[in-house]
C-alpha cells in the first residue's frame, strides 16, 4: 500500500497471513519523520507527540496502537480501568479490520475523535467517554460487516481507522491532509464519523473535510453553527432542537410550576454554549423573564475562577425572592465541567429554602447524575434534554425507539457493560457509523451482479445521503433517522428528558412522558 503526498511516496507491506500477531498501524506521509522518544517512545513510525504541553501521542491506526496504555503513567483507578477497556475494544477492532482486509472487498471509514486525555489541561472527552465511543462504534462496525441491518455486507465491507486528533481537538489542516491520504484507489476513504465535541476547531476541520469532498457524520456535536455545513450530517440533536424539547415540556397543560426563567451562560466564545444560549433566547423567549447572567467558564488555558458564580447566585436569590413572578427555572448554557461548581454554589445559597429547577440541553449531561445528592440537599431539580435514555429504553418503556432493543442486544453480546450506555456516547457513535454504513450500502453495486464492479467512492456515498429517508431510513438505536440531501440534523430521532435531584414543590417528570421526536423539515 502506498501513500503519496507532495510527489513523494511512502510504502510498506502488511503481511496479514504471516504477522497476525503483530499490530498493524496505518500511518500517513504527513506524520513521517524523526521518532520522538521523549513523548511516544513505544509508538511505531507515524504516531507523534502533539506537544510537550499536552503530552499525547496522536495519529492514525487500525486499532493496533494503544494511545493510552492502562499500565504505567499516573492514571487514577477509574481511568486505569477505562484504559484497560479501551485496549480490549481496540483488540476486537483490530481483529475485525484484519478479517475485512483479508477479504479484499472493503472501503475505509475513519473515526475522528479525541482518543487520549491530556496530562496537564482539561480534555474535551474523558477516558470513560472515549471507551464508550469505541464500544458503540465497534458495535455498529460488526453489525454493518456481518449482518444486513444497514446494508449487504457481500457488496462491501468497512475497515474502520482510528484517528486521534488529541484531547483538545487541536489537529488542523495538516492532520486532515494526513487523514485523507490513507485513501487508496482500490480502498478509498469514503466517510469520516465522530468529529468529537462542539469546539471551535470542529467547524474548521468539518469545512476542510467538506472542501475535500469527504462526507461526514457527527455523533455528539450539538452546536447550531455546524448544522448548515454542506456534506456534514449529524445524528445528534442541535441546540435549537434541545430547546424545543424543553419548550414542549414547559408548554404542557399540566405543567404550571415553571413560568419565570433566567439564562445563566458561559461568556467564552464556545460554539456549544454560545448557540445554546441563543437557542434559549429564541425558542424559550416566553419563559425568560430576567436579565441573563454570565460567567467565565473554564478553558484549556484558564480554570474556572474561584468566585465565578458568586454574583450569579446572589442575583438568582434576589429573583427568587420577588413577590411578583418569582424566579423558578434557570436555563443553564455551560459545560458539564463547570456544572459541579455551579451546583455547589446553589447548595450554599442563602435562599436555599426556595426550590429551583435548572434546565439544560446537552448530549452528555448524564454525568450530572453523580451530583444527585448534592442537588437534593440544595433543593434543586435538574431537567435536561438529551440524545438518549438507556435506562428507560433498556426497560422498553413508552417512547423507546423501534430498533433500540436490537442495538442493545448487539452491544451486550460483545461483553460490554450496560452502564456504559448511560452517557449516550456509545449510542451516538453507533448511530453515526450506522448512518455512514447505510449510505455506503446504497452506493455499493452488489458483487453477485458484477464481481468486477468498483467499490463506492466518497462522491458515490455522499450522493446517497439524499436517499436516507422513506424506505431507506437508518435503523439506528435512537430512532429511524432520515436526512436532508445537503447535510444537517437527523429527523425521526427521540429527545428524551431526564431528571436529577428533586425538590418538594416541583413534581418529577410524569411517568410515561413521550419524548420529543425531531420532525422532518
Dihedral sign for Cα 117, 120, 123, 127, please.
Answer: positive
Dihedral sign for Cα 463, 464, 470, 471, please.
Answer: positive
User: In this structure, are 332 and 373 located in the same domain?
Assistant: yes
Q: ∠ at Cα 389 (388, 394), nearest 5°?
A: 120
CA–CA separation, 72 and 80 (whole Å): 9
Is 425 among the domain residues? yes
Q: Quick check: 411 and 421 in contact, CB under 8 A?
A: yes
Q: Quick check: 257 and 506 in contact, CB under 8 A?
A: yes
What's the helix, strand, coil split of the chain in %, to 5? 35, 15, 45
What is the CA 304 to chain-centroid distance, rounded? 24
User: In this structure, are 220 and 253 located in the same domain?
Assistant: no
User: In this structure, are 338 and 406 located in the same domain?
Assistant: no
> Cell for 480?
429511524
Is 126 among the domain residues? yes
User: In this structure, are 378 and 440 located in the same domain?
Assistant: no
Is 376 among the domain residues? yes
Q: Tell me the residue length of the chain.
A: 521
How many C-beta atoms lie closer than 10 Å to residue 195's C-beta?
28
> CATH no. for residue 31?
3.40.50.2300
Is 43 among the domain residues? yes
Q: Quick check: 423 and 364 in contact, CB under 8 A?
A: yes
User: In this structure, are 430 and 317 located in the same domain?
Assistant: no
- pLDDT at residue 149 in the model: 96
Q: Quick check: 219 and 204 in contact, CB under 8 A?
A: no
User: In this structure, are 480 and 503 located in the same domain?
Assistant: no
Phi and psi angles of residue 11, each rounded to the nearest 5 degrees, phi first: -130, 145
User: In this structure, are 62 and 197 located in the same domain?
Assistant: yes
Dihedral sign for Cα 62, 159, 464, 4, please.
Answer: positive
> Cell for 315?
442575583
Q: Quick check: 386 and 495 in contact, CB under 8 A?
A: yes
pTM: 0.90
Q: 127-146 vs 77-103: helix axis angle to the nearest 10?
A: 20
User: In this structure, are 202 and 271 located in the same domain?
Assistant: no
> Distance between the two ends of the chain, CA-based, in angstroms?
44
Q: By C-alpha distance, which of 188, 192, 186, 96 is closest to 141?
A: 96
User: In this structure, are 145 and 233 located in the same domain?
Assistant: yes
User: In this structure, are 468 and 435 located in the same domain?
Assistant: yes
Is 391 among the domain residues? no
Q: By C-alpha distance, which of 247, 246, 203 is closest to 222?
A: 203
- pLDDT at residue 28 in the model: 41
Is 307 among the domain residues? yes
Burial category of 394 from C-beta neighbours within 10 Å (exposed 0-12, middle 13-18, buried 19 and up): middle
Q: Quick check: 376 and 398 in contact, CB under 8 A?
A: no
CA–CA separation, 68 and 116 (whole Å): 6
Domain that holds residue 201: 2-237+400-489
CA–CA separation, 376 and 331 (whole Å): 18
Q: Which residue has the cell 472493503?
A: 106
Each of the 521 residues of the chain gets a pLDDT tens digit; together they read: 333 334 333 333 333 333 333 343 444 433 433 333 356 777 777 688 876 667 788 889 999 999 888 876 677 888 899 999 999 999 999 999 999 999 999 999 999 999 998 877 778 899 999 999 999 999 999 999 999 999 899 999 999 999 999 988 987 888 899 899 999 999 999 999 999 999 889 999 999 999 999 999 999 999 999 998 999 999 999 999 999 999 999 999 988 889 999 999 999 989 999 999 999 999 999 999 999 999 998 876 677 877 889 999 999 999 999 989 999 999 999 988 899 899 999 999 999 999 999 999 998 787 788 888 999 999 999 999 999 999 999 999 988 999 999 999 999 999 999 999 999 999 999 999 999 999 999 999 765 555 556 789 999 999 999 999 999 999 999 999 999 888 899 999 999 999 988 755 555 677 778 889 998 86
CA distances from 44 to 35, 57, 173 (A): 8, 11, 23
Q: Which residue has the cell 465511543?
A: 133
How many C-beta atoms lie closer than 10 Å to residue 41's C-beta?
10
Q: Quick check: 450 and 157 in contact, CB under 8 A?
A: no
User: In this structure, are 67 and 163 located in the same domain?
Assistant: yes
Q: Which residue has the cell 486528533?
A: 165
- Please tell me the total count of domains within the chain: 2
- pLDDT at residue 510 in the model: 79
Amino acid at each position: 500500500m502506498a501513500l503519496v503526498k507532495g510527489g513523494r511516496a511512502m510504502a510498506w507491506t502488511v503481511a496479514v497471513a504471516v504477522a497476525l500477531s503483530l499490530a498493524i498501524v496505518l500511518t500517513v506521509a504527513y506524520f513521517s519523520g524523526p521518532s520522538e522518544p521523549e513523548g511516544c517512545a513505544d509508538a511505531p513510525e507515524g504516531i507523534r507527540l502533539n506537544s510537550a504541553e499536552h503530552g499525547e501521542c496522536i495519529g492514525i491506526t487500525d486499532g493496533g496502537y494503544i494511545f493510552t496504555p492502562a499500565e504505567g503513567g499516573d492514571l487514577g483507578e477509574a481511568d486505569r480501568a477505562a484504559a484497560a477497556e479501551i485496549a480490549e475494544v481496540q483488540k476486537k477492532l483490530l481483529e475485525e479490520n484484519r478479517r475485512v482486509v483479508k477479504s479484499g472487498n472493503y472501503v475505509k471509514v475513519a473515526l475522528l475523535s479525541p482518543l487520549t486525555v491530556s496530562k496537564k489541561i482539561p480534555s474535551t472527552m474523558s477516558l470513560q467517554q472515549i471507551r464508550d465511543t469505541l464500544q458503540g462504534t465497534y458495535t455498529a462496525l460488526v453489525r454493518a460487516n456481518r449482518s444486513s441491518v444497514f446494508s449487504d455486507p457481500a457488496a462491501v465491507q468497512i475497515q474502520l481507522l482510528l484517528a486521534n486528533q488529541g484531547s483538545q481537538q487541536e489537529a488542523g489542516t495538516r492532520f486532515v491532509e494526513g487523514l485523507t491520504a490513507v485513501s487508496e484507489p482500490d480502498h478509498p476513504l469514503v466517510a469520516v464519523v465522530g468529529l468529537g465535541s462542539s469546539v471551535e476547531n470542529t467547524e474548521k476541520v468539518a469545512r476542510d473535510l467538506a472542501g475535500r469532498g469527504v462526507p461526514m457524520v457527527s455523533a455528539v456535536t450539538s452546536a447550531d453553527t455546524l448544522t448548515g455545513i454542506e456534506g456534514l450530517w449529524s445524528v445528534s440533536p442541535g441546540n435549537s432542537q434541545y430547546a424545543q424539547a424543553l419548550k414542549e415540556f414547559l408548554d404542557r397543560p399540566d405543567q404550571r410550576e415553571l413560568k419565570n426563567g433566567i439564562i445563566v451562560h458561559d461568556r467564552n466564545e464556545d460554539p456549544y454554549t454560545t448557540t445554546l444560549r441563543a437557542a434559549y433566547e429564541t425558542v424559550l423567549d416566553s419563559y425568560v423573564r430576567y436579565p441573563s447572567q454570565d460567567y467565565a467558564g473554564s478553558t484549556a488555558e484558564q480554570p474556572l475562577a474561584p468566585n465565578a458564580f458568586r454574583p450569579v447566585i446572589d442575583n438568582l436569590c434576589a429573583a427568587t425572592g420577588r413577590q411578583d413572578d418569582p424566579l423558578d427555572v434557570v436555563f443553564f448554557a455551560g459545560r458539564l465541567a463547570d456544572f459541579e461548581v455551579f451546583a455547589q454554589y446553589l447548595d450554599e445559597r442563602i435562599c436555599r429554602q426556595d426550590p429551583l429547577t435548572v434546565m439544560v440541553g446537552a448530549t452528555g449531561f448524564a454525568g450530572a447524575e453523580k451530583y444527585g445528592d448534592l442537588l437534593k440537599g440544595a433543593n434543586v431539580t435538574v431537567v435536561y434534554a438529551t440524545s438518549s435514555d438507556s435506562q428507560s429504553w433498556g426497560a422498553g418503556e413508552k417512547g423507546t425507539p423501534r430498533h433500540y432493543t436490537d442495538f442493545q442486544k448487539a452491544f451486550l453480546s460483545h461483553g460490554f457493560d450496560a452502564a456504559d450506555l448511560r452517557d449516550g456516547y456509545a449510542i451516538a457513535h453507533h448511530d453515526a457509523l450506522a448512518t455512514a454504513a447505510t449510505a455506503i450500502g446504497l452506493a455499493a453495486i452488489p458483487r453477485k451482479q458484477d464481481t468486477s464492479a468498483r467499490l463506492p467512492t466518497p462522491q458515490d456515498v455522499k450522493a446517497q445521503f439524499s436517499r436516507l429517508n422513506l424506505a431507506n431510513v437508518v435503523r439506528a438505536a435512537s430512532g429511524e433517522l432520515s436526512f436532508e440531501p445537503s447535510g444537517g440534523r437527523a429527523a425521526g430521532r427521540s429527545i428524551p428528558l431526564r431528571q436529577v435531584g428533586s425538590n418538594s414543590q416541583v413534581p418529577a417528570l410524569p411517568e410515561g412522558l413521550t419524548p420529543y421526536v425531531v420532525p422532518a423539515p
